[in-house]
Amino acid sequence: MSQTPNLAVQPVAVDHQRLFYEPVVLEYALQIACRGGREVFNETPIMENDSLTSQKQAFHCFVDKLAQVCDNKRGGEMVTALAVLNGSDHTKFVFASNERNDDELAETRDFIHSLLTLVGKNPASLKPKPLTKQVLWKILHFNMLRLNDYLNNLVKYLNECIADCDRRQSIGTLKSELDKLRKKADFPRDSGAVQDKILSDCEKLIKSVVAIKSSPIEVAIKAHAKDGSINSSDSWCELRHYLGRLLSFRQAANVLVDANDRFPDMLKAFKITSIPSSRQAPKPIAKSRSVTAVSIVENMIADDDEEKSDFLEKALEMQRFGVNDIILAQISKRSFRPRVHAEILVHNYLLEQGLQHPREYWNSWKYIGSSKPTCKLCHYYFDMHPDKVSVRKPHFNLYPNWRLPGLFESKDFGAPDPKIVRLLQQITERIRDDAKTTLEERRPVGRNHDSNTYTTQPHLTSVNSLTRHLLALSVRSQDDSSGTYVDADDYNQESDDQGSMQGENGLEFAEEANEGVPVMDGHYL
């Protein structure tokens, strides 16, 4: 309390802004330098794919999946957060995105309304399977930009993995199954193609992805991704990622339909509120070669700290790994203009509306869901904010283009709220500690993809040991278009929702599809 008056008069644009963003840029540069160009897939596993044990978890899953299908463009601009609140006679859905303009917000609001109307009211009185199919098609249509990226990359990495099979002179059915999948993925998607045909082809492809879950084909893909070969394993990792991302659309449809069965009152009547995205703040650090790892450490550690000299020496050593060049590149970016992330936009709106008590939230479940796992700085924000609200578990990726609401919006913004400044100071301390840890350990954290992409050692310890299993498939392999694929309806609900979690710690395609969201039993196409 005694610090509050001092906090209010300190010059934010000069002091707190630089004190915060310098260690952020340092930690960001250190992470890149420590990777040394390596892709990072498995440093920070998010063990969030446990099967659902409560209605509350099912609700969290629903909110996250609804947010996910609103995130219809790759790159971070459309990352969406969402909260569900109680109204007097209706349910309130409040959402925000990182960087959507007014027209895009209106389009997203209309999409959410039509999607929830389809799920909740089921105007055509469809049975679960055809209803889920209609929901899937609506999701795919809204996500066509993202879907096109996924399909292009899927075909790319299927080609690379097939070529890798040729180099390895692989036997068995792995190559032939990948080739069948490639043919199903490489369908016409140009402007001349009929939209319903595109959606139908997408649905068939997703069925094929479901069919290889928990099969020796999937196990082989995972093993190749982990075999340690620098030249090829990345292609297999990316293949797993994009198979999982396609599967996520199917699982989102399942989750939304199932949620209406679990919570029949939630979608009887609802209203949707969109929150404007924040403005870009001015660049927090001007381009200058004088901003180096050493200068940042000099500023962030007090002179009387006995460890300062050690950290200065470590910062100097990191110059050999190009950390200063990375720092300069970051502060030189014209796009280095921070915004408030979607989760915090939603939270700030709710605080401004006086909605803090759990009773204000639907079923008293105080939760803000999001289309991606929470980033490192958002995680610190929610961890230290006095208003305790649950959010998704973090992937710990660090994004320098991040800021708090009410701070750094313009050079003449005025005196900030002392409580916000205090929160910023706490987050600054956490990111300084992270930078110190990285300087000491030189070990990267975070993830190459901000959706879940981690692997663990499979029970079968080598690719060659899979050969017998793959040869067994060749007995059943057919030359027709169905190949060894089985219809998704042949899978029971448990295996289709949870992938091959049973019996081992590693997650298969489900880890990609769920993005760390627990998946409930659903209806299948």
Query: What does the pLDDT look like over 318-328, one tens digit per residue?
Result: 999 999 999 99
Range with the lowest mean pLDDT among 155-169, 267-281, 486-500?
A: 486-500
Structure tokens at 36: 């040394």
pTM exceeds 0.85: no
- Give the model's confidence band at 442: pLDDT under 50 very low, under 70 low, under 90 confident, else very high: confident
pLDDT for residue 264:
94
SS3 294: helix
Phi-psi region of 487 (alpha: psi -120 to 50; beta: other; left: phi over 0): beta
Angle made by CA atoms 85, 348, 345, in degrees to the nearest 5: 90
Residue 226 has a pLDDT of 80
Average pLDDT, whole number, for the chain? 82
- Shortest CA distance to 144 belongs to which of 55, 222, 78, 94? 78
The 8-class DSSP code of residue 88 comes to S
Provide the pLDDT for residue 451. 60
Question: Which tokens go with 66?
Answer: 């609804």
**Are 48 and 518 contacting, i.e. CB atoms less than 8 angstroms apart?**
yes
Using CA atoms, how far apart are residues 488 and 496, in angstroms rounded to an integer? 8
User: Does residue 191 have a pLDDT over 60?
Assistant: yes
Q: What integer is the mean pLDDT of 506-522?
A: 45
Alpha-carbon distance values, 35 to 30, 38, 163 (Å): 8, 5, 27
Average pLDDT over residues 326-349: 97
